[in-house]
Amino acid sequence: MTEIVLTGRGLRKSFGSTVALAGIDVTIQRGETVAVMGPSGSGKSTLLHCLAGILAPDAGEVTLLGERIDTMSQAQRSRLRRTRFGFLFQFGQLLPELPAIENVALPRMLDGMPKAKALAAADTWFPSLGLDGLQRRRPGELSGGQAQRVALARALVGGPVVVFADEPTGALDRATGDETMRTLVSATKGQRTSLVVVTHDPAVAAHCDRTIEVVDGLIATGTATASMPVKAGEW
Ligand SMILES: Nc1ncnc2c1ncn2[C@@H]1O[C@H](COP(=O)(O)OP(=O)(O)OP(=O)(O)O)[C@@H](O)[C@H]1O
């Protein structure tokens, strides 16, 4: 059974006279991995930010599990981002002064979980993401790929419905980027979390079930890349 978790309908967003989104419709199924590609400036990041409740669209609707999120208050959207979504970016997402495990535990603590429990929840991700033994290292003592997997653990620790990633392998070499994408896709699928990845890199998109192409603020095509298809019934 497929289950729609996130939809954007008729999304429009302008910055001054620049039209970033010109009326986009997107539907994301549970456990699905979707790449968002397109030329520079075509509206990919704006689309991601609108779907994730970071930006309010000028027109259109965003629905998570049947509930409108674009009409929520700033405070409600910020809570939603902490509890329902995970985020993975290219750079600078870990706090340099905190050990890896505390970086991973942070979103849970911000959400009110006692520190010991949050650290225990964070710790379970280290072996499964190939990070065992690195819990006490600070971000500056990790390789780029390891730091990105710590950031992934942090995105996943709250059991999000959707992980949003913007160029998650942009700062990594090809082999490390490939390994990071494999880990990202298998970890999200493992907990039936959907994944929306903005990327310029066809090798990243090839890890996803399908690709949405955004051109001039509109969806140009929707193609199944399906190098790692989701089995029917897995959603
Ligand atoms: N905060 C902002 N203020 C003004 N203009 C903006 C802002 N954010 C985006 N834009 C403009 O909106 C358009 C779409 O930007 P967006 O960042 O969504 O594109 P993109 O496809 O993600 O680009 P890239 O691949 O280069 O990251 C661009 O013309 C951009 O300059």
Supply the ipTM of this predicted assembly: 0.97
Number of alpha helices (DSSP H) and beta strands (DSSP E) in the chain: 8, 10
What is the per-residue pLDDT for 1?
66
Q: What is the DSSP letter of 229?
A: P
- Which token pair is 25? 């419709």
Q: Rounded distance, CA 162 to CA 89, Å?
A: 14
Give 179 Cα–ligand 1 centroid separation in angstroms. Answer: 29
* Residue 54: CATH number of its domain: 3.40.50.300
Give the closest residue (by CA) to ligand 1 atom 31. 41
Domain that holds residue 176: 4-224
* Residue whose structure tokens are 């429990």: 117
Q: Is residue 197 part of a domain?
A: yes
CB of 211 closer than 6 A to ligand 1?
no
- Which token pair is 200? 């310029």
Residue 2 has pLDDT above 70, yes or no: yes
Q: Is residue 232 part of a domain?
A: no
Q: Is residue 27 part of a domain?
A: yes
Mutate to test the pocket of ligand 1, among 15, 51, 201, 214 (most ligand atoms within 8 A of CB): 15
CB of 49 closer than 6 A to ligand 1?
no
What is the per-residue pLDDT for 92?
61
* Chain segment 147-188, per-residue pLDDT in tens: 999 999 999 999 999 999 999 988 888 998 898 899 999 999
Burial 25-64 (b: 16+ CB within 10 A, else e): ebebbbbbbbbbbbeeebbbbbbbbbbbbbbebeebebbb
- Which token pair is 216? 């001039």
183 contact partners, CB below 8 Å, separation of at least 6: 129, 130, 149, 152
Categorize the per-residue pLDDT at 43 as very low, low, confident or very high, splitting at 50, 70 and 90: very high
* Chain segment 59-113, per-residue pLDDT in tens: 999 999 999 999 999 899 988 888 899 999 887 689 999 999 999 999 999 889 9
Pairwise pLDDT comparison (228 vs 74), residue with the higher score: 74
Query: How many distinct structural domains can be found in the chain?
Result: 1
Q: Is residue 235 part of a domain?
A: no
**Closest listed residue to residue 96, CA positions, set 166, 147, 43:** 147
CB of 8 closer than 6 A to ligand 1?
no
Ligand 1 atom closest to the Cα of residue 13 is: 12
Give the closest residue (by CA) to ligand 1 atom 6. 15
**Closest listed residue to residue 137, CA positions, set 150, 124, 125:** 150
Residue 42 has pLDDT above 90, yes or no: yes
Q: Is residue 86 part of a domain?
A: yes
What is the per-residue pLDDT for 124?
94
Give the closest residue (by CA) to ligand 1 atom 27. 40
Q: What are phi and psi of 2, to 5 degrees?
A: -85, 150
